[in-house]
Structure 1
Amino acid sequence: MPSSTGHAARLALAVMLFTLATVPAAGAEPRTPAAPTGAAAWTARPVAGGSGAGGTGKSAGRSYFYLEGPPGAVLQDRLSVTNPGTAPVTVRLRGVDTYRAGDGGRTARDGGKPTAGSGPGTGSGGRAGNGAGVGVGAWLRTATAKVVVPARTRAEVPFSVTLPTGSAPGDRSGAIVAESGGRSVGVRVRLRVGGPTLAALTVEDVIVSGKAVHYTLVNRGNTLLVPRITMSADGVFGPLLRRGTRTLPLELPPGRRVTLTEPWPDTPALDSVTVRLRVTAAGGAYDEASARARFVSWAPLTGAALPLPAAAAAAVYAYRRRRGHRRPWGGRQRGGAPAPAPYEDGSPARPPGGRRACDTRRLTKTGTGGES
């Protein structure tokens, strides 16, 4: 039998081991998940107080670039890339043409892939666009196609937009796209080429299909347009739809064509309709177009037409019975054959009762002897 002293010693040792396992050592700190590196925290925006719109002073910030000049001018500005993280970030830059799509989102069109620069700080730079385009994406050049921003540092990247001498006056829309670590940020560039401006807008190809009206807007001028639309529909018995003027969630650059749809969920079941669209924009742009459509619901017509064959057959039957009862005696028989001639004494060949009477006077015997 073990002694009581040994039992007490084993109990004290177990308590001490449990205490050491649950209480952290002196000076130790609880472990926390490691903070992610600052790769996803970088930002790109216009340098505050530059030549673009949106700021009133050197300290004011801008949300986009605004550049303006005559054909042949070289316009310049600077992009700020900030890295507040704890690790360096490599950001690639390129220029694109952009416009606002029909759903309100912004769509980018590459003016061309940037050519490789010789490294940051060399001034060799990369071409944001290979000249294949006709807008900002083809005319914009950054000082470098790739910039390495150290941790907790801000880098300023100069860029220029060269307006061709033959470029038409009007507005252009583009962007500088910065990409790093699977993340992309676009900084908008609004450009105006000096010269006479013309605002012109047309609405074309209006089609009524199903429960929607489809149409196409075309910017025929040289200014950036934000269209407004008014829609109405009139049927045989009066107005069916009056939709007030509203601004469409899109920007239409010069020469751009976009196809849109106006929903019309409560179309009539049976009517001949004329739909009219009227579009306007700043600068006096105006146009309107119309389309005709016929709405026919076959289910009610089919149900209403089912009794017609039976009614027609009954009418024909009644007409024939009435005509048969009223046919005068001695008239023409069915098929156009003439009625039998009366007897010599003037009596009718067929009595009014309809039965042919047997009369020996009408019987003849044919033979070699002639009539008997």
Structure 2
Amino acid sequence: MMATEVTVPVLGESITEATLGEWLKQPGDAVALDEPIASLETDKVSVEVPSPVAGVMGQHAVAVGDTVRVGAMIATVDAGGSAAPKEAAPQPAVTQTPAAPAPSPAPAAETEPTGDSPAALSPSVRRAVLEHGVDPATIKGTGKDGRITKEDVEAAAQNKPAAAPAPAAAPAPGATTTGGRKEERVRMTRLRQTIAKRLKEAQNTAAMLTTFNDVDMTAVIEARAKYKDLFEKKHGVRLGFMGFFVKAATMALKDIPSVNASIEGDDIVYHDYADISVAVSSPGGLVVPVIRDAQDLTVAGIEKTIGDFGKRAKEGALKMDEMKGGTFTISNGGVFGSLMSTPIINPPQSAVLGLHRIEDRPVVVNGQVVVRPMMYLALSYDHRLIDGREAVSFLVALKNAIEDPTRILIDL
């Protein structure tokens, strides 16, 4: 039986290292050719490492949380071998871990699954399991390859019978408890570290300023209510508000090209296309896949692209190339209930649009006070490149298109 080394694959341009996020196969497990055996966390997305041969999983050369470089060996696979009996697997030792008398504050104690499931849990799922006190072995995963997601854990916690206080009374492994107060130390994921670094760099580099406006959503709400059923029947996707905003933004960017530009050294780079980055949630944090050439897409095409991004972000299946580039970003904090915010630009971009929740407010229309569904818009921009007049003009153009969606149809 011949052992084949499993090495870290090429991760993308300029990416030389990653963090081992989880082991998908344990020593002794049978693996098929190209079957994922490990998940790596890079600066942008999670990357699965496939098995180079069919056989049996050998020994792990690195542990969860270790930093690995491209080309480094992380494990071996015994080609053509037979899977070890289940009794030989290390799971029984894991089930005894909570009974150990010596609690450890180190996060290493949380890297093993707590239930009978052989699949390792991602860091965000492990945290959710500890917070909600649910047994992962009783949860049916809806993620890729049947893996448990954070949403699965939260759903299981809501359905857990109220008359089961025993699990809550036991302290979570790896947590320290003093006088009824608990603390848990969890290592930041590589993605979260990168997000923190880039956001701080943006604040340190750009002369960042935010300007606000509000928009009456009446016309868009009425159009959506009138056509949403026909739209979904024809295009196979729901009609949301983001399709309108992305399309309106591409029109405004064409009118105000500096908002779609970037600074490179002493040069200003103007783009005759609009690659719109849309912020979506993933288990590891906020990611910003890019809608390429959004100016050429219909509202339906934009909605389909955003829906696909959101689904694959939750599964950790976004690709590196889908995260690169982008000339302008739209972040919708309204889905979480945000009323107003000052979003941070995503370098080398020079501006980001923040959308917020819709709420009924009294406004004056034709001299009369009426109640309208209003939304605050926030444009954060790099004042080194974009003047206040241009920022305000962009928001006004966007506001006009949303309040009169016919403008989107006739490109006005």
TM-score (normalizing by structure 2): 0.21
Larger Rg: 1
Report which of the two has the higher share of strand: 1
Higher RCO (CA < 8 A, seq sep 6+): 2
Report which of the two has the higher share of helix: 2
TM-score (normalizing by structure 1): 0.22
